Structure 1
């Protein structure tokens, strides 16, 4: 665990991860689904410029959200895919520009499982599940056993194309989060049952990735403190997951919460002030010395320095604040307490605010001025239309 820091040094202090890699400061651009790939799983110029702007803005680590290890189960058709069909030159263009100023750039390796984008996928999770209008089929044990190789192959592509680490996505209701959740995981084999068994596939994935990329390449993980769903992952079980991770070769644990399951409460759309998951981080710190990131609800420099000075966590994860102010790390590190203006929306539809912020990412990647007065409903429509326009391209490549 890192030594306590003086407030003036907190944000700009480097930290060495267990693998030996050094993150230059304590601010991380948490993974968000930017939906800026080309509809065939490859980076676009807009996406490359977006991550370059964050690296120019002083971030220590940027994590590219929802990078798929299996093109049959994407979160949406704007995701990157790391597989044998990847455009390695385009990936290298992304990493070379996203890693300037000694910034790290990691892909968030994911598999949407039962929450995959339905026009492109037959929904499949750990178990067959039917809740209201939602239904998914269950994976066979053979399908589950293939996951570690799938993640490891994606990780080696990441390493070979210039990414400086990887993050395993085990949060927000996607496949590995589904394995942790007793709501989704009702298996009777070695991958279901108690929390140790529900965590087994994640442990196997970590072990396979480590064997593939070597001991000096960073491997992080994002996990929920709870699913905020009745019957989902509880805080007690989540704490046990942290204990299990403490015995692996993981280098960084990012704590978040919530789920994109239809009708689930979204922490990021909450009207409460945040930060959201600091209380759980305090408990997690008591069971692991692995560096911790807490993400969700950070809006001010004071909030970031307070949680870091408490010696509870090692990094603060930022999302929407970095959309509204891409160079926010430079401002905060220099001592300027700039507070982004977070727009408020009346009675937004489910997922609507996320869609609005995603469209602002496109504006940033095109080097245009951010318009916080962008109307919500047109932004949602543009977001949905863009995804629909990519369906044909995705299906032509992957099916």
Structure 2
């Protein structure tokens, strides 16, 4: 596309986007939430984490979302997670908000907890229903515990606002707690929070209402939602569209569409090697159900794919994760009209968890301003990743227990 005024090529990815709350994103490229595992083991940010997000800001993204910021240390996904609750040292989060953003980038924490899939070495997993499955055992949340959750999300959102983050995202995807409530595989309750999808989404809607009340009308509140959990008998697209229709009636500012789950042994969309955006068909269906701005995360590998998704009106924001690990400067490259797409490494016969470990350790290289390896030994990455988890687990247990 060209700009008739000066003959230059118009790239829709760099049009600003004004959200319903009134805040304007400088462009349509977001660094979607990833578990960077760069917390210090006590739930607090590190200087390396601030450098990582500053690096993405310098690279040109309009929005970065900090993955897996816990509302409760009892149900963390990993010992490198951040925990933003009443016991947190708020000044350290404020430093991340100040130094981790820049160049007009918005920096938002993703609020959630892992529930049934909380990391057992530091947690006692609890979900909507008690489960005893290979690789996954959890107790059932009581009705009293469920009713306390919206206030927890609201309190963490208010702390994020006080720490001067630009907004928040509520995590209801990838098999974490609110996603578990949406899925009939995890949620077998017979009370008001289980059964039909209208009941399974009840907790999510209550959390949205509580967060909005806590932060007021002008503060961005997003939701990350699965198109499906890609498990037989689980959360399916028809139910996801029902949730989208319900979200249309709320005060949220952005729906981030993704899919899949970290349920043990489940297929990961990001490891499937697909050639295009994974959930674009669902996004097209969702577009017909809502006027809310839509973000799509997963599978964008080329400039052409990202431009088409936005220029077609299917989505308003493109979420990139691994693409911004292999090339943190990608938005600036694309803005300069350079036809350079990210070069992803190819791994043959990767060990379970090895690809995730490689990308996570590469995040650490970016954060520490180290030269980034072009390839890598997945076994070595996995050893380093596991060793760091062990070290952070010891720090976590000392701090929180």
Normalized against structure 2, the TM-score is what?
0.97
The range that moved more, 343-352 or 275-284, is: 343-352
What SS is found at the alignment partner of 1:100? Answer: coil
Q: Equivalences for 1:1-399 in 2 at 5 Å?
A: 8-399=10-401
CA change 1:294–1:95 in 2 (3 A) is same
- In the TM superposition, residue 273 of structure 1 has moved relative to its aligned partner by 1.2
Q: Is the 8 A contact 2:135 2:264 kept in 1?
A: no
Distance 2:339 2:81 in 1: 34
Distance 1:7 1:310 in 2: 17
Question: Any idea what the Cα deviations from partners look like across 1:304-327, whole Å, max 9, x if unmatched?
Answer: 001111111000000000001111
Question: Any idea what the Cα deviations from partners look like across 1:202-259, whole Å, max 9, x if unmatched?
Answer: 0000000100100000000101000001111001101111011111111000000000
What SS is found at the alignment partner of 2:14? Answer: coil
Distance 1:115 1:337 in 2: 41
CA change 1:259–1:90 in 2 (3 A) is same
- In the TM superposition, residue 274 of structure 1 has moved relative to its aligned partner by 2.2
Q: Is the 8 A contact 1:7 1:309 kept in 2?
A: no
Distance 2:383 2:110 in 1: 26
Q: Is the 8 A contact 2:11 2:307 kept in 1?
A: no
Distance 1:129 1:373 in 2: 39
Q: Is the 8 A contact 1:152 1:212 kept in 2?
A: yes
The range that moved more, 123-132 or 261-270, is: 123-132
Give unmatched runs, 5+ long, in structure 1. 1-5
Distance 1:392 1:375 in 2: 26
Q: Is the 8 A contact 1:106 1:164 kept in 2?
A: yes
Distance 2:9 2:108 in 1: 28
Distance 1:267 1:351 in 2: 13
Distance 1:39 1:210 in 2: 30
- In the TM superposition, residue 7 of structure 1 has moved relative to its aligned partner by 7.2
Distance 1:204 1:333 in 2: 40
Q: Is the 8 A contact 2:127 2:180 kept in 1?
A: yes
Distance 2:225 2:168 in 1: 14
The range that moved more, 373-382 or 213-222, is: 373-382
What SS is found at the alignment partner of 2:55? Answer: helix
Distance 2:226 2:390 in 1: 30
Q: Is the 8 A contact 1:110 1:169 kept in 2?
A: yes
